[in-house]
Structure 1
Amino acid sequence: MRYLTESFAVGALRRGQGIEQFLGAAGSGDVPAVSWVSIEPTRRGLAVTLHTVEDAGGEDFCDLLEFPPLDPDEEFGQEIAVVEDPPKAMAIAEDRTGALREKWVNAGMAGDEYRDYVRAGRPKM
């Protein structure tokens, strides 16, 4: 099972584990780009971050963290919010990025979603 149920996603965040979601094609410029959203526990609370990077990968290279940021000033993504409550963090991510409640995965797994996106011919989502 790739996707986390809501209770598993909330449980992961409460245990100090991050979750993330691949969002697909991004941007409208000359450089192909993709984005994903992450929710990571920090000392300040749960940080909701939107990442937009160059679509620099393929089936054999799908580590999204290694892709160059589309905006060099946002090397680590654009922080959207920091909150304490896991369901609220998920709701903010879903509301502000278009993430879907049923598509959250454990941290580090959005690359698998990217690989599926590449195999499908990089469709506009």
Structure 2
Amino acid sequence: MRYLVETFAVGALRRGQGIEQFIGAVQTAETPAIRWVGIESTRRGYEVTLHVVEDVGSENFCDLLAFPPLDPDDEFGRTLAVADDAAVAMVEAERRTGAVRHRWVNAGMARDEYLDYLRAGRPTT
């Protein structure tokens, strides 16, 4: 089972484990780029971070964290929201990025979504 049901996603966050979701291609970038959103538990609360990186991957290189950021000032992503509740953080991530409730995965697994994207020919929609 790749995707986390909502209760498992919230549970992972409450245990201090992150979740993430591959969003897809960035339509307006001159440089081919992709984005994904992550949520992790920090001292401030549940932090929602958007990552926008150059699409330099291949089936043999799909470590999204190793891709160069599209904006050098966002090397570690851009914080979109911080919430006191895990479920609220998920709602904020979905509202601000277009993430979908039933497509959250454990941290580090968005690469599998990226591989699906590559195998589909890098669709723009």
Same fold (TM over 0.5): yes
* Equivalent residue number for residue 51 of structure 2: 51
Deviation at 1:84, TM superposition (A): 1.3
Contact 2:27 2:124 (C-alpha < 8 Å) held by counterparts: no
Q: With structure 1 as the length reference, what TM-score do the two structures score?
A: 0.98
Percentage of identical aligned residues:
68
Contact 2:19 2:104 (C-alpha < 8 Å) held by counterparts: yes
Q: How many residues align?
A: 125
Per-residue Cα deviation, 1:7-42 (whole angstroms, up to 9, x for no partner): 000000010000000000014232100000000111
Contact 2:20 2:39 (C-alpha < 8 Å) held by counterparts: yes
Q: With structure 2 as the length reference, what TM-score do the two structures score?
A: 0.98
Give the root-mean-square deviation of aligned CA atoms.
0.7
* Equivalent residue number for residue 2 of structure 1: 2
Per-residue Cα deviation, 1:16-73 (whole angstroms, up to 9, x for no partner): 0000000000142321000000001111111100000000101111100000000000
* Equivalent residue number for residue 72 of structure 2: 72
Distance in 2 separating the partners of 1:6 and 1:29: 32
* Equivalent residue number for residue 18 of structure 2: 18
> Structure 2: which 5+ runs fail to align?
none
Q: Could you say what secondary structure the match of 2:30 adopts?
A: coil
Distance in 1 separating the partners of 2:43 and 2:81: 14
**Amino acid across the alignment from 2:98:** G
Contact 2:39 2:48 (C-alpha < 8 Å) held by counterparts: yes
Deviation at 1:80, TM superposition (A): 0.4
